[in-house]
């Protein structure tokens, strides 16, 4: 039964969170994190579980969001008895329907061709969203009022707290369902298609069919996320079906880690938090995202979850403390390198973008200086170079600690 | 009508050749390394911006030569220190690396040159009317662009089929291990091809920059079309990429010139669709308006009819 203990814990965390973080902004933040977690998990059904790289997953999220908004408008004024809590079902159906149509075309191919087709389909829908103005509402989008729907249990969903619980409940259901799917025979076959499509064919399964089913399920869950977004924002615009949104979910999922079920959730929480807070501090936050993504792809292909999971067996054998000193040693040059990089980016951003309007004076790490002077630039570059060089010196120590730990773990096994 | 057909074909061929300058490099890189370079259109954008910056200080002509070379060098560096590191993690990681790169390049360009279009002008030496036909003028710069594009196409053909370098490249496409056995440095060949492909994209950027608009979104606007071309032609087929480039170029140019909508057509067969419905937009939209969508529709059509693309023979 220990296997299932995580679910009640997760549910109670979702219930308790608003009591801990009870301000309006944190409620909005948490709602958004839940939505993005569902969206990223649905994306990982493709990328992580079945090995299909899609550049157009926002299509199902966005279209479902638009349909949910229209459904809210239709059911809002009338005497129908469809409550707001049922709207995500419409989203799931919309996502599923469009995934059935587009998936039939695109899952004929795998690999790079599939990626390009998904990109083409994404662009097709994004371009159509600008043409079909009466459905997509043009630049200003379509808005609706969630509190006008049929009152269910006396809830009008005017307050954010009620909306949060609605979103959290649906998130819980969707996450549990997606987790359950990974443990069905179908989920296992999807993994087989990812690992070795040829053998999957030999076992007697049609890889195209498996890809198609995965695609449809992913579309349906993305639809739930889209409908939740529609409920949360009460507005949808063409940006939600755009390539930028598809790119964002890919970034989240990959940074979180595609190899583990929890990875996309971690990624969604981290990226959403950063998106909201980082944009307050710096104008170059998109650049930081891009660089972070490249670094993850280059050095940590398992993502955050992968990074955490390699420590799990070490932790089990009680050897984690052996790694701590080398990690602390690495942290110092890593921080120096990071502050240097941040310095260079901020200086460049200030000198190129802000200096024209605000003058050359800027504030960074509590220090005031001119972004046109050479000294701050020299300091930042020197910090970066020094940090990078020290990292290279310290890295063998970390490796050494790891091999030591591996040796001990092997001995413990024998 | 004749005037429309003539000018549209001329512009269509020009646009198609421009597309091929990029799609050709993209296809070569794909056949060689198995990775579709997502940042290819970003190198095209870099070419335009570098060309603009050099033109501002030294004039257009030095920019025409220097900017592609710089872009090619940047590309070679990216391959050497980026892609080659990622290679061990597989093709998905490589594709994602270039995806991230495209993202970063767009942000950097926005940071350095601003979000608004820059004033990249046609050089004065080429700022005249080449010929007038049916009362419509045709600018000399477009003729120049067409000339450059054809010149580049011929030289690429020559290098690939008639020179030793081309021989080694073609051999490394299909038998990289054998080429390595013969003593050639295959990773260096890869780096050269990647740099060369980026250089061609950069050249396309330099000559397209003054004619189109040089702005940070130019990569994002062109990138998806480029992938349509490559998939449409058949992944890995240079001939296919060439045909698909011209096809997309012509189709898009002609579509812009046609001001006909579905409801006009339906009127013609005396059928009046319900004007008040949600789909009313769909009936009223003209062919010119859906021109940006047509390549994607073509892509879907070809995938249903011929999943490997026009000239392709490999599955993925």
Q: Longest C-alpha distance within chain B, in Å? A: 72
Q: Which residue would you say has higher pLDDT here, B266 or B6?
A: B6
Chain A residues lying within 8 Å of B307, measured CB to CB: 108-109
Task: Write out chain A residues lying below 8 Å of B303, CB-based.
Answer: 105-106, 108-109, 117
3-state secondary structure A234-302: CEECHHHHCHHHHHHHHHHHHHHCCCCCCHHHHHHHHHHHHHHHHHHHCCCHHHHHHHHHHHHHHHCCC
Tell me which residues of chain B, numbers 210 to 229, contact chain A at a CB-CB cutoff of 8 Å. 220, 224, 227-228
Q: Which chain B residues touch A293 with a CB distance below 8 Å?
A: 96, 100, 103
Question: Alpha-carbon distance A147 to B249, whole Å?
Answer: 50
B198 vs A158: which has the higher pLDDT? B198
Q: Check A287 against B89: CB less than 8 A apart.
A: no
Q: What is the mean pLDDT of residues A233-239?
A: 85
Helix (H, G, I), strand (E, B) or coil at A318: coil
Structure confidence at residue A37 (pLDDT):
93
ipTM given for this complex: 0.84
Q: Which fold has domain B2-305?
A: ABC transporter involved in vitamin B12 uptake, BtuC (1.10.3470)
Q: How far is CA A79 from the centre of its chain?
A: 38
Please tell me the distance in Å from B93's CA to the nearest CA on chain A: 6
Do B92 and A53 count as a contact with CB atoms less than 8 A apart? yes
List Cα–Cα distances, A17 to A12, A263, B79, in angstroms.
8, 20, 46
Pick among B41, B101, B111, B263 to test the A interface (most A CBs inside 10 A)? B111
Nearest to A286 among B107, B114, B290 (CB): B107
Residues of B in contact with A116 (CB under 8 A): 36, 227-228, 230-231, 235
Percentage, residues of chain A above pLDDT 90: 19
Q: What integer pLDDT is reported at residue A151 of this predicted model?
A: 67
- Segment B55-74 shows an average pLDDT of 87
CA closest to B288 among chain A residues = A131
Who among A106, A132, A289 is closest to B282 (CB)?
A132
Identify whether the C-beta of residue B101 lies closer than 8 Å to the C-beta of residue A294: yes
pLDDT for position B89? 83
- State which residue of chain B sits closest to A101, comparing Cα positions: B300
Instruction: Check B89 against A112: CB less than 8 A apart.
Output: no
| Burial of A354: CB neighbours in 10 Å, binned 0-12, 13-18, 19+ | middle
How would you class B177 by CB atoms within 10 Å of its CB: exposed for 0-12, middle for 13-18, buried for 19 or more? Answer: exposed
Q: B221 to chain A, minimum CA–CA distance in Å? A: 10
Contact B100 A121 (CB under 8 A): no
Q: Which residues pair with B132 in a beta bridge?
A: B137
Q: Decide: helix, strand or coil at residue A82.
A: coil
Tell me the pLDDT band of B214, cut-offs 50, 70 and 90. Answer: confident
Q: Examine the pLDDT at B273 and tell me if it is beyond 60.
A: no
Please, what is the angle between helix B2-33 and helix B218-233, to 10°?
Answer: 80
Structure token pair of residue B78: 């990216």
Q: Which residue of A has its CA nearest to B277?
A: A134
Contact (CB<8Å) B36/A348: no
Q: Which residues pair with A361 in a beta bridge?
A: A370
A303: Cβ contacts below 8 Å, ≥ 6 apart = A254, A255, A256, A257, A258, A259, A260, A263, A266, A267, A296
Burial of B45 (0-12, 13-18, 19+ CB in 10 A): buried
Size of interface A-B (CB pairs under 8 A): 129
The interface residues of chain A toward chain B in range 245-264, judged by CB-CB distance below 8 A, are 247, 250, 254
Contacts of A132 in chain B (CB under 8 A): 281-282, 285
For chain B, which residues make up each domain, given as ranges? 2-305
Q: Strands A235-236 and A361-364, how do they pair?
A: unpaired
Q: Is pLDDT of B276 > 60?
A: no
In terms of Cα–Cα distance, which of B131, B139, B129, B151 is closest to B64? B151
CB contact under 8 A, B290 and A250: no
- Beta partners for B137? B132
Give the closest of B107, B281, B316 to A133, CB-based: B281
Q: In whole numbers, what is the pLDDT of chain A averaged over residues?
A: 84
Residue B107 has its nearest CB partner, among A106, A254, A290, at A290
Q: pLDDT confidence of A99, banded at 50, 70, 90?
A: very high
CA distance B35 to chain A (A): 8
Overall average pLDDT of the A99-111 stretch: 86
Whole-model pTM: value is 0.85
Specify which residues A41 forms β-bridges with.
Answer: none
Is any Cβ of chain A less than 8 angstroms from the Cβ of B26?
A: no
**What is the rounded distance in angstroms from the CA atom of residue A49 to the CA atom of residue A190?**
6
Test B111 with A289 for CB contact under 8 angstroms: no
Under 8 Å between Cβ of A377 and A295: no
Residue A314 is predicted with a pLDDT of 79
Q: Is B241 on the interface with A (CB under 8 A)?
A: no
* Res. A155: pLDDT tops 80: no
Q: How far apart are CA A267 and CA A225, in angstroms?
A: 16
Whether the CB of A194 is below 8 Å from some CB of chain B: the reply is no
Q: What is the mean pLDDT of chain B?
A: 82
Band the pLDDT of A228: cuts 50, 70, 90: very high
Asked whether residue B45 carries a pLDDT value surpassing 50, the answer given is yes
- Mean pLDDT is highest, among A259-273, A395-409, B251-265, for A259-273
CB-count exposure of residue A63 (10 Å: 0-12, 13-18, 19+): buried
Residue B294 to chain A, least CA–CA distance (Å): 9
User: From the candidates A50, A124, A241, which should be mutated to test the interface with B, based on the most B CB atoms within 10 A?
Assistant: A124
Burial of A386 (0-12, 13-18, 19+ CB in 10 A): middle
Interface test mutation site (partner A, options B32, B82, B90, B103, max chain A beta carbons within 10 A): B103
Task: For residues B79 and B196, give the distance between their C-alpha atoms in angstroms, rounded to a whole number.
Answer: 11
Give the nearest partner residue to A123 out of B99, B104, B296, using CB atoms.
B296
Q: Which of A259-268, A315-324, B292-301 is least confident? A: A315-324
pLDDT at A405 over 90: no
Residue A214 has pLDDT above 90, yes or no: yes
Categorize the per-residue pLDDT at B316 as very low, low, confident or very high, splitting at 50, 70 and 90: very low
pLDDT at A211: 92
Structure tokens at B238: 């240079």
Rounded mean pLDDT, B238-255 = 88
pLDDT digits (tens, 9 = 90+) for A68-83: 888 888 877 666 677 7
Q: How far is it, in rounded angstroms, from Cα B157 to Cα A140? A: 49
Question: Which whole number is the average pLDDT over A152-163?
Answer: 73
Q: Whose CA is closest to A126, among A223, A60, A71?
A: A60
Q: What is the per-residue pLDDT across B52-61, written as a single tens digit (0 to 9) for each?
A: 888 888 888 8
Structure confidence at residue B272 as a pLDDT band (50, 70, 90)? low
For residue A187, pLDDT beyond 60: yes
The interface residues of chain B toward chain A in range 134-173, judged by CB-CB distance below 8 A, are none
Angle (CA) A105 B294 B248, round 5°: 105
Decide if B222 contacts B299 (C-beta within 8 A).
Answer: no
pLDDT of A42 reads 93
Q: State the DSSP code for A146.
A: G
**pLDDT tens per residue, range B151-170:** 888 888 888 888 888 888 88
Q: Is the pLDDT of residue A146 over 50?
A: yes
* Closest CA–CA distance from residue A11 to any residue of chain B (Å): 34
CA dihedral sign of residues B285, B290, B291, B297: negative
Our CA-based measurement puts residue B106 at a distance from the nearest CA of chain A, in whole angstroms, of 9
Q: Is A121 on the interface with B (CB under 8 A)?
A: yes
- Interface check for B285 against chain A (CB to CB < 8 A): the answer is yes
Structure-block tokens of residue B67: 């900017």
Tell me the per-residue pLDDT of B187-213, one tens digit each, with 9 for 90 and over: 888 888 889 889 989 998 998 888 888
């Amino acid at each position: 039964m220990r296997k299932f203990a995580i679910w009640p814990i997760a549910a109670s965390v979702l219930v308790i969170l608003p009591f801990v973080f009870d301000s309006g902004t944190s409620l909005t933040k948490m709602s958004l994190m839940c939505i993005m977690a569902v969206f990223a998990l649905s994306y990982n059904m493709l990328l992580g579980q079945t090995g299909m790289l899609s550049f157009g997953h926002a299509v199902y999220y966005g279209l479902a969001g638009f349909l949910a908004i229209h459904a809210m408008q239709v059911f809002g004024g009338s005497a129908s008895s469809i409550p707001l809590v049922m709207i995500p079902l419409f989203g799931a159906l919309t996502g599923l329907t469009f995934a059935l149509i587009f998936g039939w075309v695109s899952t004929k191919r795998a690999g790079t061709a599939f990626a390009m087709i998904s990109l083409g389909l994404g662009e097709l829908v994004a371009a159509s969203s600008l043409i079909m103005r009466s459905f997509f509402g043009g630049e200003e989008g379509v808005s609706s009022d969630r509190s006008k729907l049929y009152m269910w249990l006396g809830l009008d969903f005017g307050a954010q707290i009620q909306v949060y619980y609605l979103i959290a409940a649906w998130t819980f259901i969707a996450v549990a369902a997606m987790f359950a799917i990974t443990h069905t025979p179908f989920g296992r076959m999807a993994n087989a298609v990812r690992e070795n499509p040829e053998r999957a064919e030999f076992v007697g399964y049609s890889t195209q069919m498996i890809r198609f089913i995965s695609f449809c399920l992913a579309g349906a869950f993305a639809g739930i996320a889209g409908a939740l977004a529609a409920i949360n924002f009460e507005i949808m615009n063409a940006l939600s079906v755009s390539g930028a949104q598809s790119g964002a979910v890919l970034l989240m999922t990959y940074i979180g880690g595609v190899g583990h079920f929890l990875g996309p959730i971690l990624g969604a929480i981290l990226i959403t938090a950063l998106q909201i807070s980082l944009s307050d501090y710096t104008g170059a936050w998109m650049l930081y995202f891009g660089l972070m993504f490249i670094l993850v792809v280059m050095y940590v292909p398992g993502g955050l979850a992968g990074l955490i999971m390699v420590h799990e067996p070490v932790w089990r054998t009680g050897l984690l403390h052996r790694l701590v000193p080398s990690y602390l040693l690495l942290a110092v040059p890593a921080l120096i390198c990071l502050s240097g990089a941040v310095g260079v980016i901020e200086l460049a951003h200030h000198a190129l973008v802000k200096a024209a309007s605000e003058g050359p004076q800027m504030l960074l790490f509590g220090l005031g200086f001119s972004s046109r002077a050479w000294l701050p630039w020299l300091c930042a570059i020197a910090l970066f170079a020094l940090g990078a060089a020290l990292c290279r010196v310290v890295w063998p120590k970390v490796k050494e600690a790891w091999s030591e730990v591996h040796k001990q773990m092997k001995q413990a096994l024998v | 009508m004749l005037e429309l057909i003539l000018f549209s074909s001329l512009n269509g061929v020009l646009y198609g050749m421009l597309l091929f300058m990029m799609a050709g490099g993209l296809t070569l890189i794909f056949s060689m390394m198995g990775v579709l370079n997502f940042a290819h259109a970003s190198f095209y954008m870099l070419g335009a911006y570098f060309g603009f910056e050099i033109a501002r200080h030294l004039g257009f002509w030095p920019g025409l030569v220097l900017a592609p070379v710089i872009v090619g060098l940047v590309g070679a560096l990216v391959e050497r220190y980026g892609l080659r590191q990622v290679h061990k993690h597989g093709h998905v990681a490589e594709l994602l690396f270039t995806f991230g790169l495209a993202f970063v390049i767009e942000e950097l360009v926005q940071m350095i040159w601003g979000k608004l279009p820059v004033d990249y002008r046609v050089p004065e030496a080429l700022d005249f009317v080449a010929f007038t036909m049916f009362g419509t003028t045709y600018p000399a710069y477009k003729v120049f662009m067409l000339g450059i594009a054809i010149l580049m196409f011929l030289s690429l053909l020559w290098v690939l089929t008639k020179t030793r370098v081309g021989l080694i490249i073609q051999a490394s496409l299909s038998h990289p291990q054998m080429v390595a056995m013969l003593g050639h440095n295959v990773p260096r060949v890869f780096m050269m091809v990647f740099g060369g492909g980026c250089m061609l994209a950069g050249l396309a950027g330099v000559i397209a920059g003054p004619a189109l608009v040089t702005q940070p979104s130019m990569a994002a606007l062109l990138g998806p079309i480029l992938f349509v071309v490559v998939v449409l032609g058949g992944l890995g087929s240079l001939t296919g990429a060439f045909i698909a480039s011209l096809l997309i170029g012509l189709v898009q140019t002609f579509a812009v010139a046609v001001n006909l909508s579905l409801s006009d057509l339906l009127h013609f067969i005396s059928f009046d669709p319900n004007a008040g419905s949600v789909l009313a937009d769909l009936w009223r939209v003209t062919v010119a308006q859906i021109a940006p969508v047509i390549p994607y529709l073509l892509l879907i059509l070809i995938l249903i009819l011929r999943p490997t693309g026009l000239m392709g023979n490999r599955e993925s």
